[in-house]
Each structure stands twice: as C-alpha cells, then as structure tokens.
C-alpha cells in the first residue's frame, strides 16, 4: 500500500515516510505511526503522520 488513502493508515503501523526536507531526494525514514495529521480521506503525496520519535512526514509505504 502506498499511503495515499487515510483509511489505510492507522496508529501503530510500521511505515516509511518522506520528510519535507527530503522530498526532492526521496530519502525515506522508517517508524511507527503515533498520530495521523491529515484530515482529508485522500492525499496524492501521502497522508501526513507523526512517528513515535516525533518525526513528521508523508507516508510513502506501509510495511507489513
């Protein structure tokens, strides 16, 4: 799953996100979702989340 739909993203999931400053390079950061920050049901660049370590970014991959 690519993380563009809010219904696919839940707290406690292991995900890869891209931080704002890494959007051009596409560098991914892995972590566990602690809070979903995007209110809309869908976002073309990924749902914005906060990880347990406080990092904020857009979900690029949902890991199983």
3-state SS, residue 21: helix
Domains of the chain: 6-62 (2.30.30)
For residue range 18-56, what is the model confidence (pLDDT) as tens digits? 999 999 999 999 999 999 999 999 999 999 999 999 999
- For the question of whether the overall pTM of this predicted structure is more than 0.85, the answer is yes
Q: What confidence category does residue 64 fall into, taking pLDDT thresholds of 50, 70 and 90?
A: confident
25: buried, middle or exposed (CB in 10 Å: 19+, 13-18, 0-12)?
exposed
End-to-end CA distance of the chain: 10
Residue scoring higher pLDDT (37 or 2): 37
Contact 41, 5 (CB under 8 A): yes
Phi-psi region of 63 (alpha: psi -120 to 50; beta: other; left: phi over 0): beta
Contact 52, 13 (CB under 8 A): no
């Amino acid at each position: 799953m690519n993380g563009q739909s809010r219904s696919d993203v839940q707290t406690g999931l292991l995900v890869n996100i891209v931080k704002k400053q890494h959007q051009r390079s596409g560098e991914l950061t892995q972590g566990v979702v602690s809070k979903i920050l995007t209110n809309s049901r869908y976002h073309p660049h990924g749902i914005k989340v906060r990880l347990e370590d406080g990092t904020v970014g857009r979900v690029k991959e949902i890991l199983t």
